Structure 1
Amino acid sequence: MNLAGIDLLAKAPYAEGDVFLGGRWLPAADGRTYPVYDPATGDLIRHVSAAGEEDARAAIGAAESAAAGWRATPPRRRSEILHDTFELMREHTDALARLIVLENGKAYRDAAAEVGYAAEFFRWFAEEAVRIDSSFGDAPAGGYRHVVRRHPVGVTAFVTPWNFPAAMATRKIAPALAAGCPVLLKPAPETPLTALAVAVLLTEAGLPEGLLNVLPTDRAAEVGSAWLGDERVRKFSFTGSTATGRLLLEQAAANVVNVTMELGGNAPFVVCADADVDAAVRGAMDAKMRGGGEVCIAANRFYVHADVAAEFTEKFGAAMVAVRAGSGLAEGVTLGPMINQPAVDKIRDLVADALARGARIAAQGEVPDGPGHFHPATVLVDVPDDARILHEEVFGPVAPLTTFTDEDEMLARANATVHGLASYVYSRDVGRALRLAERLEAGMVGVNRGLLSDPAAPFGGVKQSGLGREGGREGIEAFLETQYIALDWPL
């Protein structure tokens, strides 16, 4: 197989198919395939096997068969395999980044940064694998002892999105394997090839057969329902929209499946009167434009104090106009295409709604002529509170600006959403910044910083932005069950 000169995937025997099941590369059981396109050109990359219900159930069987052996594998050995995968990802950074650009469209610099971030989950959880703790102590009443053990939860099933095809997979795979759990993964239909490349590297690192099963498909409901409806699946983790998350939670309830949900966001970006405006602009570019704005923690609503609104708007607008849009592999490009045409249409609808309600365009970049799903970097000002763009996740390179003078009023507006994933605050007064951070209803807050994500920190939201946390110490906890043993041992 030749994917624009990318030879990483050539290490896998794809002649038979793209479903990675029980350590083998297979076609879908019914032979179905579906197309994957380059969002920068609209060109067909290739057809990929489309797994169905039969494949989904076979994957559960493969994972269950491998579970006991992996659970009994010493943590040190699990750690070594994860660390070797980290090294392999670093070694193949360029190939993985090019693959991400090809199927996702993001600029190469963002894709390379994603590969580095994704690889770090293997390093972090390689270290956490050997630190799973147990405890032993005396019962307060005397006469017996408490033994508390941590065990792998069992077969785990994951559904990941297209916007971070490497990182959203490794953020789930790494802690599950570290904890001793086998994995089922359904990557997004738009970006299956990166997940398959990660499977290639894990196999090269020595991961035993059956512990990672990757099922690309355009039949998500069929595969997901098969997993959630099977009592052998003990853990389910999903990253995606809140609407889809609600539906999956309903299905998970039938078997009381342990779930982690990382759902939609609507992040406010607050610029106080005493903020370093230049720093705030740099942070805004990080928080808004990384990955073309197709990021769940992207700044979605900007609340700028009236005293600095003019300066911030001018400087931020200049930075947005300077963004160069184009194919992610072209030199100097920092904004790639959106994932598909419906994504562009949604952004345009939100902008049109804001303009119809009185907003105006303060700054706008350019996009290339010709094919591809592009939307220009755009700054909107005078955006009224009833504009849809302040209440819906724009998921694109558009920044709506509003102003404030009263902190309490601003906080009420910022918190008036069902979402609570990320927030950002810029102020030279650390006390003020922390006070605002604590009052913002969000699982994560960047203070004078536009980049939040770190494998060593817990990632997740409050309200309808999700359940549970990924990354950090909390990340491995999601894949462990606590067992208490009362040991008769008279004092």
Structure 2
Amino acid sequence: MSALPPPAQQLIDGKLVGASDGTTYPILNPANDEQIGVAPDGTAADVDAAIAAARRAFDESEWSTDRALRVRCLRQLHEALLAHAEPFKALTTAEVGMPGFMMMAAGFDVPVDGLKWVTDLAETYELETDLGVAAPMGIPTRRTVRREPVGVVAAISPWNVPTQINLAKIGPALAAGCTVVLKPAPDTPWVGAELGRLVAEHTDIPPGVFNVVTPRSNEVAAQLSTDPRVDMVSFTGSTAVGRAIMAAAAPTLKKVFLELGGKSAAIALDDADVAAVAGGTAFAACIHAGQGCAITTRLVVPRAKYDEAVQVAAATMESIGVKDPADDGAICGPVINRAQRDRVASYFDVARAEGGTFATGGEVLDRPGNWVLPTVVAGLDNSSRLAQEEIFGPVLVVIPHDGDDDAVRIANDSAYGLSGSVDSADLERARAVARRIRTGTLAVNGGVWFSPDAPFGGYKSSGLGREMGVAGFEEYLEMKTIAEPA
């Protein structure tokens, strides 16, 4: 494994710094509980200084108005990420517990490609649209719609795929001309801090344009949602925290982007290859120990093929098992921390109480690290808590359906609406079902929606707004209509 990057520091107003009071907290490897470093425990004064720097840089520097500068600086950051890819990937495995194969996807390669994609978009995006001449109230008028950066953005990211989500926020925000304060999750502060170091040491991004703070305290971080100098909060995480952030931002009427939870359904119609769908869904539920909001964690199959689906899913999960994420061939590594391990274990108790059975798994491992065995739960219907609540572990619930209408009903009977899939031997039939499912992304017959140019986000309790794609860039723009005499 490559050597890890330099120690984590905050980036405030162009300077790499520790916490203002000198305090730190440990960074642990979730695979073995060993300490791999420390992070500055940012103070309220640090957060205040970062917000002040971002506000000043937006209001007084050329960043918001100089598109060429933004493009040049973001290309420098892209080059720096590529040049430091190996230590960055090693850090992601050590700090996040992410298996190495994921670096080709959400772990590193796709988000870094996404930074280049949004930089290319920003270089050519039409910031002004001519609406032509009209005569409202008899007054000949030429109208122009102008798009301008929102302002200061607080980007608050989670621990599961931090580089993907960090770059999906800061890339379009900076490309649009905003300034940013990034607050990574306290379980994974180092990968966020490493972005700050690369910006400070390898780009010409002006001081204050991009800041990183790493407070452990939620109370300290909460200032980002309430401070009137912040114009927008971009948050990815749990639905409960998203609601709290939305409420905290309401008094100052900040723009809020929320990418929240999911409980996505993988549907096999009665003409599908149910064994293939069950095996693929079980594999997906094991990736990164199930710690992905868009993973399909409900397998919805024809009632006549239910037993087959349960058996194939269980056999697939047993063949995968758990493995140190630093080892070759690892698919299911640890969950992020002991609290998350215990939370997943509590759902096993719920499954038993609700009358469910485990076709495989249903256990946590009592050893260093935070290990949960891949688990298939059978015998529950869609009203069960395991089918309704986001578990964020390698747990798959198999649910029978009685035809296309029933499958759609089950998929939509959820507070969430983030992702899902439909498989059928008849593509038009699969498309017809897909159009009826209320989710933000959906795979039909194995199609892949995850790409820098494709918008990602959800319906209902899965959030507000879209990340990635043109829509994700436009989240960080305001519209201004200008009228002049014609």
User: Shorter chain as normaliser: what TM range?
Assistant: over 0.9
* Kept in 1: contact 2:321–2:373 (CA 8 A): no
Q: Distance in 2 between matches of 1:268 and 1:304?
A: 10
Q: How far is the alpha carbon of 1:236 from its aligned partner? A: 0.8
Partner of 1:99: 91
Q: Distance in 2 between matches of 1:397 and 1:145?
A: 57
The answer (yes or no) to whether the contact 2:334–2:370 under 8 Å persists in 1 is yes
Asked whether 1:198 is paired with 2:178, we answer no
Structure 1 residues 61 and 389: alpha-carbon distance in aligned structure 2, compared to 1, 3 A threshold: same
Match of residue 262 from structure 2: 265
Which whole-Å CA distance do the structure 2 matches of 1:138 and 1:379 have between them?
60
Q: Which amino acid aligns with 1:219?
A: S
Q: 1:450 to 1:197 in 2, by over 3 A?
A: farther
Q: Tell me if 1:315 matches 2:312.
A: yes
- For 1:129-278, list aligned pairs within 5 A: 129-130=122-123, 131-141=125-135, 143-203=140-200, 204-224=202-222, 226-277=223-274
In structure 2, what residue type is equivalent to 1:133?
Answer: L
1:153-175 alpha-carbon deviations (Å, 9 max, x no partner): 11111110000111110000000
Change (3 A) 1:30 1:385: same
Do residues 335 (structure 1) and 321 (structure 2) align? no
* Structure 2 Cα separation of the partners of residues 79 and 277 of structure 1: 47
Distance 1:125 1:28 in 2: 32
Give me the CA root mean square deviation.
Answer: 2.1
Q: TM-score, normalised by structure 1?
A: 0.92
Q: Deviation of residue 314 (structure 1)?
A: 2.9
Report the Cα distance in structure 1 between the residues aligned to 2:142 and 2:382, rounded to whole angstroms.
Answer: 59
Among 110, 121, 125, the residue aligned to 1:128: 121
Q: Encode CA deviations 1:73-131: one digit per residue, 9 max, x unaligned.
A: 53233223223322332333322121111111121212453101220221111111121
In structure 1, runs of 5+ residues without a counterpart are: none
Q: Post-superposition shift, 1:411?
A: 2.2
- Taking the aligned partners of 2:91 and 2:154, their CA distance within structure 1 comes to 24
Letter in 1 for 2:213: L
Shift of 1:335: 1.2
Counterparts of 1:182 and 1:461, CA distance in 2: 26
Aligned equivalents of 2:64, 2:345: Cα separation in 1: 53
CA distance in 1 between partners of 2:108 and 2:297 (Å): 24
Quick check: 1:75 aligned with 2:67?
yes
Separation in 1 of the partners of 2:126 and 2:180?
A: 19
* Shift in CA distance, 103/243, structure 1 to aligned 2, threshold 3 Å: same
The one-letter amino acid of 1:331's match is D
Give the whole-Å Cα distance in 2 for the aligned partners of 1:306 and 1:28.
57
Please tell me whether the aligned partners of residues 70 and 181 of structure 1 are also in contact (alpha carbons under 8 angstroms): no
Which residue matches 2:482? Answer: 485
| Cα pair 1:70 1:182 within 8 Å, conserved | no
> Which stretch shows the higher mean deviation, 452-461 or 64-73?
64-73
Preserved contact between residue 411 and residue 437 of structure 2 (Cα < 8 Å): yes
Listed as ranges, the gaps of 5+ residues in structure 2 are: none
Equivalent pair of 1:38/1:105 in contact (CA under 8 Å):
yes
Change (3 A) 1:193 1:424: same
CA distance in 2, matches of 1:70, 1:437: 46
How many Å separate the matches in 1 of 2:444 and 2:91? 33
In the TM superposition, what whole-angstrom CA distance separates every residue of 1:200-222 from its partner, at most 9, and x where no partner exists? 23331332221110001211232
The aligned counterpart of 1:65 is: 56
In 1, Cα distance between equivalents of 2:437 and 2:370: 34
Percent of pairs with identical residues: 33
Structure 1 position 414, deviation (Å): 2.1
* Aligned mates of 1:121, 1:480 — CA distance in 2: 18
Structure 2 residue 79 is the aligned partner of structure 1 residue 87: yes
In the TM superposition, residue 285 of structure 1 has moved relative to its aligned partner by 4.1
Aligned partner of residue 275 in structure 1, secondary structure: coil
Q: Is the 8 A contact 2:152 2:230 kept in 1?
A: yes
Which residue type is aligned with residue 248 of structure 1? I
2:10 alignment counterpart: 19
Q: TM-score, normalised by structure 2?
A: 0.93
The 3 A distance-change label for structure 1 pair 393 and 137 is: closer
Question: Structure 2 CA distance, aligned partners of 1:416 and 1:401?
Answer: 15
Distance 1:330 1:221, change over 3 A: same
Contact 1:39 1:339 in 2 (8 A): yes
Paired AA for residue 132 in structure 2: D
Q: After superposition, give the CA deviation of every residue in 1:347-405 in whole Å (9 maximum; x if it has no partner).
A: 12212221332222223499877311000111122223342111110111111101112
For residue 112 of structure 2, what is the amino acid of its counterpart? Answer: A
CA contact 2:143–2:481 (8 Å) conserved in 1: yes
Matched letter for residue 134 of structure 2: P
- Describe the SS at the equivalent of 2:131: strand
**Residue in structure 2 matched with residue 421 of structure 1 by the alignment:** 418
Aligned partners of 2:341 and 2:364 also within 8 Å: no
Secondary structure at the aligned position of 1:233 is classed as coil
1:33 equivalenced with 2:24 (yes/no): yes
Shift of 1:5: 5.5
In 2, Cα distance between equivalents of 1:60 and 1:151: 20
Q: CA deviation at 1:63?
A: 1.1
What residue in structure 2 maps to residue 350 of structure 1?
A: 347
Q: Using a 3 Å threshold, how does the CA distance of structure 1 residues 123 and 181 change in structure 2: closer, same or farther?
A: same
